[in-house]
Amino acid sequence: MTNHATFSARGATHLERLLAQAGVESMHGIEILHLVRRVAGAYDRLLNEVMGRQSLSPPRWGILLRLWVEEQMGGEAMNPTHLSQSQRVAKNTISDHLRALEEEGLIERTLDPNDRRQFKIHLTEAGRSLVQEVTPVHAQLLNEVLTIFSTEEIVQLQRLLSRLYGSLCAQLGENDCLSTKSTNVETHPLSKLTR
């Protein structure tokens, strides 16, 4: 099966032939990767549409959501390094996002009283209100997208994507991925939301 969204029929056939000459018997890996990227891109566009009135990009929304969840769990404010690691972005990228969120009045930075070289990142009241207002809308929208699947299909999709992620992490080495335990469908705290 060739994905014609990436290539014309002629181009896809040519790519298959070139790969076959190189000893590659299947296009499945390319097709799956392309679909995963398309799903991620569509999700980002959908989130941009939902967040459009707040002019927040998906990465900035992820930062706000992470800070809010940490706050709700009774955790302390997070430092930029921890946020960078949890969001899987480079430190300079997280700095740009934090600067923009601070300019929008959604977060504030305070010096860490235990280490004056470090900053702690907190949600402002405006940031907290935004997350509390938009999170249910966002979650409901994603749930509506999944209504094309049965509950069993959702669980199967979660398992398959978890295995794919685990396989990619194994290729990268364990230090290059978030814990694969967090993607285990049976133990992940969000799994109960789809059952």
Q: What percent of the chain has a predicted confidence (pLDDT) above 70? A: 83
More confidently predicted of 25 and 8: 25
Q: Over 83-125, what HEC string results?
A: HHHHHCCCHHHHHHHHHHHHHCCCEEEEEECCEEEEEEEEECH
pLDDT tens profile 84-135: 888 888 888 899 999 999 999 999 999 878 887 888 999 999 999 999 988 8
| Cα 22 → chain centroid | 34
What DSSP state is assigned to residue 77? P
Q: Which burial class, exposed, middle or buried, applies to 66 when counting CB atoms under 10 A from its CB (0-12, 13-18, 19+)?
A: middle
More confident residue, 37 or 6: 37
Tokens of 158: 């979660």
Q: Would you kindly state where each structural domain of the chain is located, as residue ranges? A: 149-195
Which has the minimum average pLDDT: 17-26, 75-84, 117-126, 179-188? Answer: 179-188
Look up residue 168 and give its two tokens: 């990619």
The pLDDT value recorded for residue 52 is 67
Give the residue ranges of DSSP H helices in the chain: 9-21, 28-51, 58-72, 80-87, 91-103, 125-145, 151-172
pLDDT for res 187: 47
In whole angstroms, give the CA distance from residue 158 to residue 117: 41
Contact in structure between 141 and 156 (CB atoms under 8 Å): no
Q: Give the Cα separation of 181 and 68 in Å (integer).
A: 22
